[in-house]
Amino acid sequence: MSNPQTPKGKPNHAVEDVKLLDRRDPSFLETDAWLALKVNSEFVSGLDALARIPLTVAVFGSARIGPDDPMYEAAREIGKALAAEGFGVMTGGGPGAMEAANRGCQEAGGYSIGCTIEIERYEPANAYLDLHLHFSYFFNRKTMFMKYSEGFVVLPGGFGTLDELFEALVLIQTGKVHHFPVVLYSSEYWKGLVDWLNDRLVAEGKLRPDEAQLFSVCDDPADVAKIVVDACRAAT
């Protein structure tokens, strides 16, 4: 597979993840082995494309907001603040908060990266990317975010945003990654989740108290950048 390119329009074929996860006996003999090779090819292409990027922070948030939403401007300011500290910004490459963070990064002279994903609800890449990679498989894309980011910034979002958040927290909790800051932006938005983690999971012994504190919560883009910078300094 060549370096992933932006699709010209909405895919007119079955999404690759759907093919891979659809169990059809005895599909392995005819198709699944070839799908495994496609997965490996995409994985290698991603590693090759991202191996030489500068220190980068991944920023996640809803694709379903526009420039008139306060979180759009917040994501833009976070992108600027991270770029001012010398970090690139990596997002899912789509609209909404992703666009805003990439935009702010470029406006401040930083290196802006987008990793889009093939889904049935096609979302075009935003216009503020210095490097654009397109993935067919979510797990390949997630690995790139974890491997090539110094930390995660998580703005208000839906299932996709929560997926990335808990992926990072599980890897930190289990010791798969170290010194990896996770910052939740907007204390009001995340309060219900934070309270639930403490009132239910910690209270019932399903989490240790320190595990419920594997992330920071803040309301100032400058504080986001400071948390990431401090974590990187502590790791050196």
Range of the domain at 122: 16-235
Q: What is the CATH number of the domain that holds 112?
A: 3.40.50.450
| Number of domains comprising the chain | 1
CA 217-221-222 angle, 5° bins: 105
In a domain, 11, yes or no: no
In a domain, 10, yes or no: no
- pLDDT tens, position by position, 49-95: 999 999 999 999 999 999 999 999 999 999 999 999 999 999 999 99
- pLDDT tens, position by position, 4-39: 444 434 444 457 767 666 666 555 556 677 788 889
Q: What would you report as the CA-atom Rg of the chain, rounded to the nearest whole angstrom?
A: 18
Nearest to 171 by CA among 235, 221, 111, 214: 214
- pLDDT tens, position by position, 185-203: 999 999 999 999 999 999 9
In a domain, 8, yes or no: no
In a domain, 7, yes or no: no
Q: How confident is the model at residue 122 (pLDDT cuts 50, 70, 90)?
A: confident
CA distance 76 to 134: 22
Q: How confident is the model at residue 105 (pLDDT cuts 50, 70, 90)?
A: very high
3-state secondary structure (DSSP) of residue 135: strand
In a domain, 206, yes or no: yes
Q: 165 and 152 in contact (C-beta within 8 Å)? A: yes
